[in-house]
Amino acid sequence: MLITIFSSRVVLQTLGIEGFGTYNIIYGIVTLFLFIQSSLNTATLRFISSSIAIYCEKEQVKIFNSSFQVTIALSLLILLLLETVGLYLINNVLNIGVEYRGISNFCYQVCVLSYVFQMLRIPFTSLVVSHERMSFYAIISIVESICKLLAAFLLFFSGDSKLVDYCVYISASTFICTAITIIYSVISFSTCRIYIMRNDVDYLEKILVFSGWTTLSSFSNSVSQQGGNILMNIYSGVIANAAWGIAHQVNTAFAALAASLQTAFSPQINKSYAERDIKGLMTLVSRSSSIAYYMVLFLSVPIICNVDFILDFWLVTPPDFSGKFCVFIILFQMIDTMQAPFNTLIFATGKVKVYNIWLSLILILNVIISAILLSKGYSPVFVPITMFVLNGITGLLRFLHINLYLRIEIKDYFTNYLSRMLLVTIVCFVTSYVFIFVCDKLMLGGLIKFLISAILTIFIVFLLGFSKADKHKLLGILKG
């Protein structure tokens, strides 16, 4: 997380605000079509985890082989879209400065190559996570972050084509991490076997159907985020894209933390549902939600309360809108982190058709509402505000879906977990702002205010956020 944040500062300094904004909007077009990556990863992880729960190695081989074939087929389809629709957007829609228009197509093609490497990694990463090899998962995440940091520092030795060089470096780092993951999977898992000529039609159909519905929501989510980025480019130019790029880096850092926690509990949720242990499943989901949320809250409160100081310290001269973008993106991510285990629960049931339809409709509303507001002359800050508000509405509807449609009781989560989480959040923010107000009166520095916010948040979360049993467990872990 810290590596990602630090590398962003180096990239912004070397590329400049316009160069950074141009990279962000070009890569954003590629990301727009990466919706298939998330849905396919979810489907593969779900089926492999379920087969592990019933101890069937033969099933695992079939599922892995089928998921690999589906990955290749869908990658080719998305590649076709990138080379047609994506190129049209780059050349005819986006507001790219004259200085970068000549190299924008080459940079785009390099970013597309990076996409290919990411897609090829999906079934192998799912295999690693399903077997709960979290040590390797953590190592490869660190290696990827270090490679990106190295790519940022190499820009100091680049000539005039810094943007081109940076795209090449990022693509190379993606290739390295993909190669390592594939080699590790082939060596470590006997089920990692590819039979090109063998087609297990039943599994191909199951993965495609499951992926089809999850792809709908993944596509809508991608359009929601990158659609806002494109709209800001059209109405506000690359300066807004640079600010959005900074907010995206913050979002990526928070999402990486949340994803690492989710990666740890997702296989267990899938296995618990496969074993039909509903009581244990809900306990696991509820605890996972609260622990993940508090982990994100530790960072969210001091950053939001001191966002201007942090951005000035981090970037020296942050682009306009950066502070407000970051605040609402972090609030968005807090809701996402809280909801992540429940999203995993819904996918574990396999009943995803209705869920993905209503979720996709709400996500698409992000783009529609943002387009209306920007066309009326409103500030681009209303793009992340819209995302945050609709994400809160989505969270409430997700609870209703689980309770009414899936017939899974979640009353205990509201009384014992969610109410406590909301109380802790309010107390953390109010207390931090009060102490910051006092610090301002005493003319204390930004670093002291940040540290006070962080210490207060840790103390309040431990005091109010955990039950007595959880406190004893945490103290035992710390003592050990």
Q: How high is the mean pLDDT of the chain?
A: 83
Q: What is the pLDDT of residue 383?
A: 93
What six digits make up the tokens of 325? 């973008």
- CA-nearest of 362, 330, 343, 169 to 250 is 330
What six digits make up the tokens of 420? 């406590």
> Residue 110 — pLDDT band, cuts 50, 70, 90?
very high
Mean pLDDT of 206-221: 73
> Residue 331 — pLDDT band, cuts 50, 70, 90?
very high
pLDDT tens by residue, 243-286: 998 888 888 778 777 777 777 777 788 777 777 777 888 888 88
Distance between CA atoms of 356 and 360, rounded to whole angstroms? 6
Q: Are the C-beta atoms of residues 366 and 387 closer than 8 Å to each other?
A: yes
Mean pLDDT of 415-433: 92
Q: Are the C-beta atoms of residues 463 and 307 closer than 8 Å to each other?
A: no
Q: Three-class SS of residue 285?
A: helix
DSSP 206-227: HHHHHHHHHHHHHHHHHHHHHH
- CA-nearest of 332, 318, 325, 70 to 194 is 70
Mean pLDDT of 363-374: 92
Residue 103 has pLDDT above 80, yes or no: yes
Return the higher-pLDDT residue of 249 and 384.
Answer: 384
Mean pLDDT of 309-315: 86
Distance between CA atoms of 384 and 333, rounded to whole angstroms? 11
Q: Are the C-beta atoms of residues 203 and 365 closer than 8 Å to each other?
A: no
Within 10 Å of residue 350's Cβ, how many Cβ atoms?
15
Q: Are the C-beta atoms of residues 203 and 66 closer than 8 Å to each other?
A: yes
Q: What is the pLDDT of residue 60?
A: 75
Residue 326 has pLDDT above 60, yes or no: yes
> Residue 330 — pLDDT band, cuts 50, 70, 90?
very high
Residue 54 has pLDDT above 70, yes or no: no
Q: Are the C-beta atoms of residues 287 and 338 closer than 8 Å to each other?
A: no
Bin 90: left if φ > 0, else alpha if -120 < ψ < 50, else beta: alpha
Mean pLDDT of 181-207: 76
Amino acid at 216: L
Q: What is the pLDDT of residue 13?
A: 82
Q: What is the pLDDT of residue 423?
A: 94
Return the higher-pLDDT residue of 106 and 353.
Answer: 106
Distance, first Cα to last Cα, the chain: 26
pTM of the entire predicted model: 0.77
Mean pLDDT of 89-113: 86
Which of 218-222, 297-301, 472-476 ranks highest by mean pLDDT?
297-301
Mean pLDDT of 333-340: 91
- CA-nearest of 88, 346, 328, 84 to 228 is 328
Return the higher-pLDDT residue of 388 and 199.
Answer: 388
Q: What is the pLDDT of residue 378?
A: 92
Mean pLDDT of 301-308: 92
> Residue 198 — pLDDT band, cuts 50, 70, 90?
low
Distance between CA atoms of 261 and 103, rounded to whole angstroms? 39
Distance between CA atoms of 258 and 332, rounded to whole angstroms? 12
Distance between CA atoms of 69 and 200, rounded to whole angstroms? 10
**Cβ neighbours for 108, distance < 8 A, ≥ 6 positions apart:** 26, 29, 30, 86, 87, 90
Chain centroid to CA 392: how far?
A: 17
Residue 372 has pLDDT above 80, yes or no: yes
Q: What is the pLDDT of residue 476?
A: 58
The DSSP code for 83 is I
- CA-nearest of 369, 398, 358 to 224 is 369
Q: Are the C-beta atoms of residues 61 and 191 closer than 8 Å to each other?
A: yes
pLDDT tens by residue, 437-472: 888 877 777 888 889 899 999 899 888 887 776 666
Spell out the domain ranges in the chain: 2-409
Residue 211 has pLDDT above 50, yes or no: yes
Distance between CA atoms of 289 and 41, rounded to whole angstroms? 21
Distance between CA atoms of 192 and 105, rounded to whole angstroms? 37
Residue 480 has pLDDT above 50, yes or no: no
Backbone angles phi, psi at 92, to 5 degrees: -125, -15
Mean pLDDT of 90-118: 86
- HSE-up (13 A, CA, CB side) for residue 178: 17
Residue 105 has pLDDT above 50, yes or no: yes
Q: What is the pLDDT of residue 282?
A: 86
From residue 20, give the alpha-carbon distance in Å to each of 49, 238, 448, 463. 40, 8, 31, 42
Residue 329 has pLDDT above 90, yes or no: yes
From residue 297, give the alpha-carbon distance in Å to each of 63, 78, 427, 455. 37, 36, 12, 12
> Residue 204 — pLDDT band, cuts 50, 70, 90?
confident
